[in-house]
């Protein structure tokens, strides 16, 4: 079975600067949580942005559920509609719409992109917020939410159009250890909506080893512009073979 997301030898540089990504290859299957790990500056966020077509790339290929992105400038939005239905992205800063309530943030794409009726959209949005345990904060503005609440609203918003692939950028950055555990369980639940091979695929950029170990099916270590080591968390994180993995582990042990 072909993977939901296939990134093949992705090469990317910023405006004539040094290459950020040299030949990044990674796959995500349905029902699978993949942690893309690396130290800060390794290019994790850049890779996610390329998959979400927010960032042009210079070589390689990205295919999401049959929709292919080619090297070169980002195509106009009108040609990206199929991709937009397939990929959701949760930003590290959450990027909630500051002028809308939590509920409106989640419902906006349902009413204006999927053209659902308002009541129906708000019903779905409320269900999503409830499922992510922030239903009580539906009427709050983003500025009134805590970091954890804002993240859950952001996840609900990304999930609202029901994309098969969910990208998350450093989801544990603003969370305390207890909340990290809760988030890990939530993400596992999201991946396995309908059981393995049917549910969503999650690609999570993180440098949090404990979190990856707890919730990822597979981890891929990104260093020097490519995946230097990949496999189950047990294999990679307990028996690291690459220096970059060991450096990452050492950084967090201290």
Partner 1 sequence: MSRSILTAVLLVAGAAGLGAAQQPQALLLWGGDAEGGAPFVEADPADPSQVRGFDVLVAETIAHGIGRRARFMQVQWSSIDQSVERGDFAIGLSGVEDTPARRVRHAVTIPYFEFREVLAVRPEDRGRWSALADLRGRRVATLGATMAYDILVTASDSHGVIPVSYDDDVHPFSDLMAGRVDAVLLDHIIAERSLHRLRGTAFIVEPRPVAVGHYVGVLARADSVLRDSVDVVLRAAMVDGTLERIYRRWNVWDESQGALFRRVAAGERDIAVDGMIGAGSVWAYLPSLGRAAVITAVLSALSMTLAILVGVLVASGRVYGAAPLRALMTGYVEVMRGTPLLLQLFVLYYGLAGVVRLPAFLAAVLGLGLNYAAYEAEIYRGALEAVSRTQLEAARTLGFSERQILRLVRGPQALRYALAPMTNDFVALLKDSSLVSVLTVVELTKQTAIYATNVGSWIVPGLLCAVVYLAMSLPLSRLGRRLERRWRLA
Residue ranges in contact with partner 1 by CB under 8 A: 52, 54, 77-78, 81, 84-85, 87-89, 91, 93, 95-99, 108-109, 112-113, 141-143, 157-158, 160-161
**CA–CA gap between residue 94 and residue 138 (Å, rounded):** 16
Residue with tokens 């390794």: 42
Q: Are 56 and 115 within 8 A, CB to CB?
A: no
CB atoms within 10 A of CB 250: 11
Q: How far is the CB of 93 from partner 1 (least distance, A)?
A: 6
161 or 240, CB closer to partner 1?
A: 161
Report the nearest approach of partner 1 to the CB of residue 9 (Å). 24
Q: How far is the CB of 122 from partner 1 (least distance, A)?
A: 16
Shortest CB 177 distance to partner 1, Å: 26
Q: How far is the CB of 107 from partner 1 (least distance, A)?
A: 11
30 in Cβ contact with 16 (< 8 Å)? no
Output the DSSP codes for 196-232: TTTS-EEEEEE--HHHHHHH-SEEEEEETTEEEEEE-
> In this complex, which beta carbon is closest to partner 1, that of residue 10 or of residue 167?
167
Cα–Cα distance for residue pair 10/125, rounded to 1 Å: 35
Q: Kindly tell me which of 5 and 89 has the beta carbon lying closer to partner 1.
A: 89
By C-beta, is 113 or 182 nearer to partner 1?
A: 113
Question: With respect to partner 1, which residue has the nearer C-beta, 30 or 94?
Answer: 94
At residue 166, the 3 state secondary structure works out as strand
């Amino acid at each position: 079975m072909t993977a939901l997301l296939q990134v093949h030898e992705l090469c990317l540089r910023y405006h004539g600067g040094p290459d950020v990504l040299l030949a990044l290859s990674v796959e995500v299957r349905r029902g699978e949580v993949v942690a893309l790990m690396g130290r800060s500056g390794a290019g994790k966020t850049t890779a996610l942005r390329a998959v979400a077509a927010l960032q042009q790339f210079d070589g390689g290929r990205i295919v999401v559920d049959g929709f292919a992105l080619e090297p070169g400038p980002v195509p106009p939005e009108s040609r990206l509609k199929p991709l937009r239905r397939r990929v959701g992205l949760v930003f590290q800063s959450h990027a909630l719409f500051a002028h809308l309530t939590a509920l409106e943030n989640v419902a906006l794409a349902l009413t204006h992109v999927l053209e659902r009726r308002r009541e129906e959209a708000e019903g779905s949005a409320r269900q999503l917020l409830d499922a992510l345990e922030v239903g009580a904060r539906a009427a709050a503005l983003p500025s009134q939410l805590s970091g954890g609440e804002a993240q859950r609203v952001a996840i609900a918003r990304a999930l609202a159009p029901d994309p098969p692939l969910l990208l998350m950028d450093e989801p544990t950055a603003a969370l305390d250890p207890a909340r990290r555990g809760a988030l890990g369980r939530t993400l596992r639940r999201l991946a396995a909506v309908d059981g393995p091979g049917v549910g969503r695929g999650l690609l999570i950029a993180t440098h949090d080893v404990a979190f990856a170990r707890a919730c990822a099916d597979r981890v891929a270590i990104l260093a020097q512009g490519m995946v230097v080591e990949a496999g189950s968390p047990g294999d990679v994180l307990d028996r690291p073979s690459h220096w970059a993995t060991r450096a990452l582990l050492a950084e967090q042990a201290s």
